[in-house]
Amino acid sequence: MEEKISNAIKAALEAAPERKFVESVDISFTIKDVDLKNPTNRIKEEIRLPSGRGRELKIAMFAAGEAATKAKAAGIAVFTPQDIEDFGGKKGRAKKVANQFDFFLSEVPHMGLIGRYLGTVLGPRGKMPRPVPPTLDPAMLAAGLASTVVVKSGDKMTFHASFGTVEQSHDELVANAMEVFNRVTNRLERGVGNIRSLFIKTSMGPSQRIEVIN
């Protein structure tokens, strides 16, 4: 399978038209014979990519006091508890912020407030904040998230995830794609036998189908 994925990545990059921005490279799964109505069968994996995401992620934290100071020093955007309440009355701004950042962190005491005012915005996007205990430096958590991708199916048989960008080397992209592929197939009862189809493409390029032998 690694050779097939390698060839598909090569073909996807060669077929991608030149763009004025850095495209991501995506892998798309369509699974079969899995009851996704049962939440326990749904795929949701946080995967640390061995070669990184290939781009800088945007991370924000809901914090005050010393935690806010540490977060800002680490280059993390900070929103205060007052900002959380303000978002509750400004859904448009809340949605803009939710789409602007890849991951959110929060001091533990603010999690209830976030659920109350931002749960309906962050929840459906899979971006509810990760709680940061007082003893943990948010910079350490942010550093780990910088190379993390979230793969989730929800109740849909087809789902996809970005595993890098066109600026990364071929070997880096292959390593990342294999990490995602292996993590997803390990979650499936029959492994590759539960995959109906598999594609790789750049974000705006043509799809390259990978033959999956069941």
Find tokens 């809901």 and name the residue: 62
User: Rg for the chain (alpha carbons), in Å?
Assistant: 19
User: Do 185 and 43 meet the contact criterion of CB atoms below 8 Å apart?
Assistant: no
Q: Which burial class, exposed, middle or buried, applies to 129 when counting CB atoms under 10 A from its CB (0-12, 13-18, 19+)?
A: buried
User: Could you say which of 91, 122, 145 is where a domain stops?
Assistant: 145
The per-residue pLDDT string of the chain (214 residues; one tens digit each, 9 = 90 and over) reads 999 999 999 999 999 888 888 899 999 999 999 999 999 999 999 899 999 999 888 999 999 999 999 999 999 999 999 999 899 888 888 999 999 999 999 999 999 999 999 999 999 888 999 999 988 899 988 888 889 998 999 899 999 999 999 999 999 999 999 999 999 999 999 999 999 999 999 988 999 999 987 5
Q: How many domains does the chain have?
A: 2
| Pair (66, 140) in one structural domain | yes
Return the structure tokens found at 119. Answer: 């749960």
- CB under 8 Å to 206, separation ≥6 — which residues? 12, 15, 16
**Rounded Cα distance, 110 and 101, in Å:** 18
Q: Which CATH number do you get for residue 111?
A: 3.40.50.790
What pLDDT, on a 0 to 100 scale, did the predictor assign at position 212?
Answer: 86
| Pair (76, 137) in one structural domain | yes
The DSSP bridge pattern shows strands 208-210 and 44-48 to be: unpaired
| Pair (108, 36) in one structural domain | no
| Pair (152, 141) in one structural domain | no
User: Could you say which of 145, 170, 196 is where a domain stops?
Assistant: 145
What pLDDT, on a 0 to 100 scale, did the predictor assign at position 20?
Answer: 83
| Pair (78, 128) in one structural domain | yes
Q: What is the pTM of this model?
A: 0.80
Question: Can you state the percent helix, strand and coil of the chain, rounding each to 5?
Answer: 40, 25, 35
Q: Which CATH number do you get for residue 43?
A: 3.30.190.20
**Cα angle at 187 between 148 and 144, to 5 degrees?**
15
User: Could you say which of 101, 125, 145 is where a domain stops?
Assistant: 145
Domain span at residue 34?
A: 2-54+147-210
**Rounded Cα distance, 130 and 46, in Å:** 12
